[in-house]
Each structure stands twice: as structure tokens, then as C-alpha cells.
């Protein structure tokens, strides 16, 4: 992780005060939370609407922090403890991350997309991890604060960093790309998330394409080639190296053979025909994510044998197509980390195609941040559910009611159930489910649908 003397740190930043008496003190690691301070950390205070982190600077030092940043516009910086007065603590954090990234002998893979970026991050890290010392974004540390913290936590012997890049508006991905300067970049797809902020899917595509702004001149850009909005806008970019992945034969890599079972997918690709890869994750959309990871692995010189091992041993971040079991032996697919119309359709299709279960049930919650047409998006989801392949539909939340309304156009009313209370939903499922059943849980993160899953386990 970042480890410098205060003197060295001051040379990396524009510091306004004299820290000569503290210059030999060593900073090790960075923290923004006094509850998680470790010895030697650089504490970074932020001014929020309700809380000013500068009030906790002395507390951070007392807990073992090696130093702290201080906004020059906040009066009375303490002089008896090592405080670095800077123009803006956030900008200083980002600058430190950028400089530290360049001090390491490191390759960076940047990943963004409306859906699948966390899963793709896990896949890329798993494949590259068969050959290199790889570190990846943990949890949701994928924004203008989390990404710099991820970089500054990298050990000095790290060889590859796989960084997830999230956003809610224009300019955010560009900033993350400029900070991390990726050697390779991926856009997994373009969905409907953040429509309320970006206005259209064209706007989402434009925002995601900001990832190339910091891409190295000879870096590889890989994107989902079956998305016309990306294809159209990529034509205007002056990039040297572009490759695509997807379903169709126009892509650099596409699947030529797929066999699915309840344990995962066996597939062959156009790049390595005759070589069968096993992906222990459900869903055809995850094969597309795997194709992106294979492109990056090929770019980094990973052998086919190593790629196979990387996919076979894949461990995904929790709540991404995670198969668990309930108290009665029912199988539960926990995909409740996030949701958009695109990802929800893919999850429903997956459950529709799975066989060997007595009863299949969907437990679907609100999809958030979809803008003015959010009700229609939910109605559409309900209407596409096939009653010949799915037996029961349960919804949770205000917008979930529209999924139920759409489903009732195809299902009998006794097979569609709508709830606003998680306890009532959990009680209904406890009485309804039995061993041999399959349940899919899918909703946006804010709905916390995993709480219902916990009640069944």
C-alpha cells in the first residue's frame, strides 16, 4: 500500500504549511473513516452537508493515524499534529492515487457498463490471477473516492489492478479513467440504469465511453459489439486497438457452442475452437462477460489452459447469481445486488430455461433510477414472464406492483402476489416453498431483498 514519509508526501502534493518537524514521520495507507483507522494511516477529511470530517482529525491522530489532510478553506488547522493543508482533500486524494499508480510497475484494467461490471471484474481478476499478482476493486469502491482508495491500497508488488468504474452522471467515468490510466478498458453493455440522470440510452453510452479518455495510447479497448449505440459512437473515437465480444459473428470473439446445466455453462469460442471452457455461473449473459475476460487474458499473455483454470475456480462477489439453499432444501438464486430491465430480463430468461425443478418462482423488487418511464419498464417485465415456464411471481415495492400488474395479463391471479412488507413476503414464501423448488431474487440494491432470503435460510 501507499507508504511514504510526510516529506515525500508533501513533494507529491501542493501543501501550504510547513511540516519540517514532522517530515520523517511515515504514512502508511489511507483512511476516510476514523472508525477504521489503522496505525500510520493518512486520514482524509471531507466536508459534507451534515458532517465535517475536519472535526475528527485530532481523534484520527489519537487513534494512530500518521497524518491528516486539511482543507485550506477550513480555519485554524492544528499546528501540534501532522496536518497537511491542501487546496482540496478530495483532489489531493485523487492526485496521490494517480501518482502512486505510476510509481508502481503495474498494469491496469478498467471496467464499466450498465450491467455485469462487477461480475466481469471478478472474471478478469480470476483469469489474470493464474499468471500475475492481481488486485481488484473490493465491494462498491468504484467511484471518485473508492477508486483512489483502491489504488492507494495496492501492494508495491502488485502486477495488475482490475478496477471497476461506476457513475451516475457525465464526467465521472472520465475522471476515474484519468486517475487510473488503464492499459485495457472494457464496456460490458449499455442498459437503462441512470436514465433519470443521463436522459437516454445514447447518453448512457456516451458516459460509459468516457473510460477511453485515460486509456494508454496503445491500450486495448473491448466492448459489447452487439450494442448499436456503442458501435455508432466508437466510430468517432481515434483509438488504435479495438476488439469486441458478443453473440454475433461480427465480433472479435463470440460463442460457437453453448451447453448449460444447473451448475453452469460449457462453451466454445471463435478464438479457441475445439477448446471447451466451463463457467460455474448461471446465465448466457455471463458467457458474454466471460468472453470479455478472455479477450483481456489473451492480451496479457494468459494461456488457454490458465484461462480454463481461472474460469473454473471463479468466485463472484456476493449476490451475483449466487446459488444458495433454503431451510426446506429449495434452491435460491440470489441476484439481489442490483437490477435494471436488461439484467432482470436476462435473469428471468435464465430461470425459464433451467430444468429439473418442481416449481419455479420469481421474487422481483423495484428497479430504481429509470426516469420518467419507470412504470412502463416494470409493466414490460411482468408481461414477458412466461406462465408455462414460471409458476409463481412475487413482487415487492411500489414499482414492483407494476411487474405484478403486467404478469396478471398472462397469469391467473392466484399465481401473482404483490407485497409492501418484507416480513409478510417472507412468511408467504415460507409457507409456499418446498424442497425441489427454485426461487430467483432480483431487485435494485436499495430494496435490500436479501433480507427476505435470510428469513428463508
pLDDT in tens, 27-84: 999 999 999 999 999 999 998 878 899 999 999 999 999 999 999 999 999 999 999 9
Asked if the model's pLDDT at residue 13 lies above 80, the reply is yes
Shared fold status for 3-86 and 104-312: no
> Which CATH number is 322-456's, of 3.90.190.20, 3.40.50.720, 3.40.50.970, 3.30.930.10?
3.90.190.20
Q: Please, which contacts does 37-43 make with residues 24 or more away whose CB atoms are closer than 8 Å?
A: 37/63, 37/64, 37/65, 38/64, 39/64, 39/66, 40/3, 40/64, 40/65, 40/66, 41/65, 41/66, 42/2, 42/9, 42/66, 42/67, 42/68, 42/69, 43/67, 43/68, 43/69
How remote is the C-alpha of 96 from its chain's centroid? 23
Asked if the model's pLDDT at residue 423 lies above 90, the reply is yes
Any bridge partners for residue 245, and if so which?
224, 253
Higher pLDDT, 167 or 277: 277
pLDDT tens for residues 260-275? 887 889 999 999 999 9
- Tell me if residue 68 falls in helix, strand or coil: strand
Predicted TM-score of the model (pTM): 0.80
Smallest CA-to-CA distance from 410 within 353, 348, 366 is with: 348
Question: Domain extents for the chain?
Answer: 3-86, 104-312, 322-456
CATH of domain 3-86: 3.40.1390.10
d(CA 87, CA 99): 17
Per-residue confidence (pLDDT) for residue 169, from 0 to 100: 87
Distances (CA, A) of 437 to 324, 411, 424: 12, 19, 20
pLDDT over 90 percentage in the chain: 78
CATH of domain 104-312: 3.40.1190.10
pLDDT tens for residues 150-201? 999 999 999 999 999 998 889 999 999 999 999 999 999 987 665 666 668 8
CB 131 within 8 A of CB 79: no
- Cβ neighbours around 353 below 10 Å, total: 12
Amino acid at each position: 500500500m501507499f507508504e511514504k514519509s510526510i516529506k515525500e508526501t508533501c513533494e507529491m502534493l501542493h501543501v501550504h504549511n510547513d511540516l519540517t518537524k514532522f517530515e520523517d514521520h511515515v504514512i502508511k495507507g489511507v483512511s476516510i473513516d476514523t472508525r477504521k483507522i489503522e496505525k500510520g494511516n493518512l486520514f482524509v477529511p471531507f466536508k459534507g452537508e451534515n458532517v465535517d470530517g475536519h472535526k475528527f482529525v485530532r481523534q484520527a491522530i489519537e487513534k494512530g493515524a500518521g497524518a491528516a489532510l486539511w482543507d485550506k478553506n477550513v480555519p485554524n488547522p492544528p499546528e501540534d499534529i501532522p496536518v497537511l493543508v491542501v487546496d482540496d482533500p478530495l483532489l489531493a486524494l485523487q492526485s496521490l492515487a494517480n501518482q502512486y499508480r505510476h510509481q508502481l510497475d503495474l498494469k491496469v484494467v478498467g471496467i464499466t457498463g450498465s450491467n455485469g461490471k462487477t461480475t466481469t471484474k471478478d472474471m478478469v481478476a480470476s483469469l489474470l490471477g493464474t499468471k500475475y499478482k492481481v488486485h481488484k476493486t473490493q465491494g462498491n469502491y468504484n467511484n471518485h473516492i473508492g477508486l483512489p482508495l483502491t489504488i492507494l491500497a495496492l501492494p508495491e508488488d502488485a502486477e495488475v489492478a482490475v478496477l471497476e468504474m461506476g457513475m451516475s452522471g457525465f464526467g465521472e467515468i472520465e475522471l476515474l479513467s484519468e486517475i487510473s490510466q488503464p492499459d485495457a478498458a472494457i464496456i460490458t453493455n449499455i442498459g437503462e440504469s441512470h436514465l433519470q440522470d443521463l436522459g437516454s440510452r445514447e447518453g448512457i453510452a456516451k458516459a460509459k465511453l468516457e473510460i477511453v479518455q485515460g486509456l494508454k495510447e496503445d491500450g486495448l479497448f473491448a466492448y459489447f459489439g452487439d450494442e448499436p449505440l456503442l458501435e455508432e459512437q466508437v466510430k468517432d473515437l481515434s483509438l488504435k486497438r479495438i476488439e469486441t465480444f458478443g453473440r454475433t459473428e461480427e465480433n472479435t470473439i463470440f460463442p460457437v457452442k453453448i451447453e448449460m446445466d444447473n451448475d453452469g455453462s460449457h462453451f466454445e469460442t471463435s478464438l479457441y475452437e475445439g477448446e471447451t471452457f466451463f463457467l460455474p455461473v448461471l446465465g448466457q449473459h455471463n458467457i458474454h462477460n466471460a468472453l470479455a475476460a478472455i479477450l483481456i487474458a489473451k492480451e496479457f499473455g494468459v494461456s488457454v489452459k490458465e484461462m480454463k483454470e481461472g474460469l473454473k475456480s471463479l468466485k463472484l462477489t456476493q449476490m451475483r447469481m449466487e446459488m444458495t439453499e433454503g431451510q426446506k432444501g429449495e434452491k435460491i438464486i440470489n441476484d439481489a445486488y442490483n437490477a435494471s430491465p436488461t439484467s432482470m430480463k436476462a435473469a428471468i430468461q435464465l430461470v425459464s430455461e433451467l430444468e429439473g425443478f418442481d416449481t419455479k418462482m420469481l421474487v422481483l423488487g423495484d428497479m430504481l433510477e429509470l426516469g420518467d418511464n419507470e412504470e412502463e419498464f416494470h409493466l414490460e417485465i411482468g408481461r414477458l414472464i412466461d406462465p408455462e415456464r414460471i409458476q409463481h411471481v412475487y413482487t415487492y415495492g411500489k414499482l414492483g406492483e407494476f411487474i405484478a400488474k403486467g404478469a396478471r395479463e398472462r397469469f391467473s391471479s392466484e399465481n401473482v402476489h404483490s407485497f409492501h412488507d418484507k416480513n409478510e413476503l417472507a412468511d408467504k414464501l415460507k409457507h409456499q416453498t418446498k424442497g425441489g423448488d427454485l426461487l430467483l431474487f432480483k431487485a435494485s440494491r436499495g430494496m435490500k431483498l436479501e433480507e427476505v432470503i435470510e428469513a428463508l435460510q
